[in-house]
Structure 1
Amino acid sequence: MRRKAVLAIILAFTLYSHAQDKKAQDQEAIKDMCGCFEVTFNFSETFNHSNDSLYRPSETKVDKGLEYAVAIVDEDDKISIQHLLQVGRPDSPHIVKHWRQDWLFENTDFYMYNGDNEWVFETKTKDDVEGQWTQKVYQVDDSPRYEGSGTWVHVDGKTYWENTTTAPLPRREYTKRSDYNVTLRGNRQEITNYGWVHDQDNAKIIREKGKEDVVLANEKGYNTYVKVDDSRCQATIDWWKENQDKWAVVRAKWDDVYSRDKDLVLETKVDNKPLYKILFDDKVVKEEEINTTIESFVKK
C-alpha cells in the first residue's frame, strides 16, 4: 500500500512538472509575438455561396506596414500584448494605436459575438479549458472584438495555436458590406523562424434570430509578421511611453464593464461619432471623461 502511495506521488509530481514545462513553452510562444515587425496583410474571398446572380465578391486586399507589439502585462496566467501601427515616412511617421490581444490561462469567462454589436456572456467549466489559453482580441478603442480558447501545440518543430470563433465584420468590410453580419473566424497563430503568421480561414455569415446561420462566402487571410530590429520602431516606442497611461485608464474602465458578467450590447455611434474617434482625441485624457464616454456606448 505504501509503495502504491509513493508511486502515485511520483506520478503526480511528474505530471505537474510536465504541465509547468508545457506552460513555460506556451508563454514563450506568446511573447515571441512581441517586437518590431514588417507586416503584410493579405485577404481574398475564395468561395461564393450566394444565390444572387449579381453578387460581387470583396476585392482582394493587400496592405503593408510596420507594427510594434509590446507586452503591457506579463504574469503567470495573463500576457497582454498591445499592437501599434507605424505608417508614413520613416523620418516623420504617424503612430496609430492598433488592436490588442490578451492571453489568459485556463480562463472560463467569455464574451461571444452574436451579430449586430452584441456579445453574449458564456462560461465554460474548468475541465473544458484545462491546459488551454484564451485569446481575447480587442478593437483599437479596447472594446471587445472576438475571443476563443485553444491549446498551444509544440510538435514536429512547429509551434501554433488554433481556434474558431465568431467576430464582427473586419474594418475593411463593415463600411462596404451589409449583406452579412457575422464573421466566423478560423484563427491560427504560428511562430516561425522569421517571426509569426496569422493564418485565417473565415466564413461570412448571415445570422438572423430564429433561423439557421447561412454562409454567404468564404475568405482566406494570411498575415505575416517579419521581425526587424526594434530601432525601426523607435518612434512608436517613444509614442507609447507618452500615451500608455491614458490607455491604462481606458482598459480599466472596460475591465469594469466586462466584470459585470452579463450580455453586452454596444452603440455604434454616440452623438454621431464612433468610440475610437472620441478616444483618439488627444484632448480626452481625464479619467472621468473617459469613463463617462465608454459608459455612454454601453446599451446593455
Structure 2
Amino acid sequence: MKIFNLLFALTVFLTVNLHAQDKLEQDRKAIKSLAGFYKVTFNYGEVTSPNPGYQFSKPYRSHGNEWAEIIVDEPKRIVIQHLLAINDSTVIKHWRQDWTYEDPEIMLYTQDNAWTKKTLTPTEVKGKWTQKIYQVDDSPRYQGYGTWSHVGGHDAWSSETDSPLPRRESTVRKDYNVLNRGSRITITTDGWMFEQDNKKVLRTPQGDQLVAVEKGYEEFTKTDPKKFEYAQKWWNTQKNYWADVREVWADLAKTSSADFKVQTKVNDKLLYETLFSLGDQSIKDNWTSAQNKEKVKAALQPYLGK
C-alpha cells in the first residue's frame, strides 16, 4: 500500500509539473507572437463620467507602422522593443515591454512621475506574467501582472494597474493625474489586439476622484516587413547603446529607495531628447560600453529624485 501511495503521489507530481511546463511554453509562445511587423491603429474615446456637466474630450485616432523586435529571450523573461517607421528615412525608438514570469518585484505608479517598489507574495504571482512598460527613453511607465489564458485556441492576458497620463493628453489635461489602466491583450489570426478600459482619476491626499472612463483599442495587423528596412538598419547601429541605457536604468532602480521619481524635463530639455542625442553622439564618436554607461548615468542625474 505504501509503494502504491508513493507511486500515485509521484504520478500526480509529474503530471502537474508537466502541465505547468506546457502552460509556460504556451505563455511564452503567445508573448513572442507579439513581435513582428505591423500596421497599428489607435482608437480612444471617453464613454462616461460621474459628473453630469463633464465635457467629453474629442476621440483620438491615429495610425502608423510599428516593428516589435524581441531583444531578450530567456526562459522566464522576454523583452520586446517597439520602433515606429515613419518613412524611408525616419524611425522613432518607441515603447518597450518586458515580460517576467512569477516576478515578485514590481514598481507601482503613484502620481506625479513617481513609482513605489512593492514585493509580491509567491501566491500573488503564481503562474502569472508581469508586463513592464517603459517609455521611449527607457524610464518606467507602468507595470501590471496577470495570467495568460489559452482557452479554445484563444490566447489572452489581462491586468489592471495605475500609470501616468497618456502622451496624447499629458500636455493638455490638468483635471486628472492618474490613468487606471484595465488592459487586455488578445492574439488574433493576423496580429493582436490591445484593448483598454481606462479610468481617468484625480488623486489627492483626500483620495481618488473618478473624472471619466474611456475605451481604447490598439490593433496590430501584420504588414510587409520591407517597410521597415531603414528602421532595421538604424536599430542595428543603435541597439548596443540602448542596451547600455537599459542597464543603467536597471541599476538605478535596483539601488534606489522604495520610491522612484523621474522628471521628464530639466532646463527646458526633455529626458528623451537628452538620451537620443547621446545615442547619436555615441555612434559618431564610437564610444565603448563603459563610456556609454558613464555618460548616460551622468545625464540622468538631474532628472531623478526631485
Using the size of structure 2 for normalisation, the TM-score is: 0.93
Which of 274, 283, 286 aligns to 1:278? It is 274
* Matched-pair contact (CA < 8 Å) for 2:65–2:84: yes
What letter is aligned with 2:207? Answer: E
Q: What's the counterpart of residue 259 of structure 1?
A: 254
Which of 92, 106, 109 aligns to 1:110? It is 106
* Matched-pair contact (CA < 8 Å) for 1:253–1:294: no
Aligned counterparts, 1:1-300, within 5 A: 1-50=2-51, 53=53, 55-88=54-87, 92-209=88-205, 211-260=206-255, 262-281=258-277, 282-285=279-282, 286-299=292-305
* Matched-pair contact (CA < 8 Å) for 2:190–2:222: yes
What letter is aligned with 2:63? Answer: K
Instruction: Report the 3-state secondary structure (helix = DSSP H, G, I; strand = E; otherwise coil) of the residue aligned with 1:17.
Output: helix
Using the TM superposition, give the Cα deviation of residue 284 of structure 1 relative to its aligned residue in structure 2, in angstroms: 4.4
Gaps (5+ residues) in structure 1?
none
In structure 1, distance between residues paired with 2:281 and 2:156:
39
* Matched-pair contact (CA < 8 Å) for 2:85–2:227: no
* Matched-pair contact (CA < 8 Å) for 1:33–1:69: yes
Note the alpha carbon deviations across 1:27-71, whole angstroms, 9 max, x for none: 0000101110010011111112236x3x43221111110000000
Gaps (5+ residues) in structure 2?
283-291
CA RMSD in angstroms comes to: 1.3
Using the TM superposition, give the Cα deviation of residue 266 of structure 1 relative to its aligned residue in structure 2, in angstroms: 1.5
Instruction: Report the 3-state secondary structure (helix = DSSP H, G, I; strand = E; otherwise coil) of the residue aligned with 1:294.
Output: helix
* Matched-pair contact (CA < 8 Å) for 1:278–1:284: no
> Which has a greater percent of helix?
2
What letter is aligned with 1:18? Answer: H
Note the alpha carbon deviations across 1:212-239, whole angstroms, 9 max, x for none: 2111000110010001232221111111
What letter is aligned with 1:25? Answer: Q
What letter is aligned with 1:44? Answer: G
Report percent identity of matched pairs: 41
Using the size of structure 1 for normalisation, the TM-score is: 0.95
In structure 1, distance between residues paired with 2:281 and 2:229:
25
In structure 2, distance between residues paired with 1:20 and 1:272:
50
Using the TM superposition, give the Cα deviation of residue 263 of structure 1 relative to its aligned residue in structure 2, in angstroms: 1.1
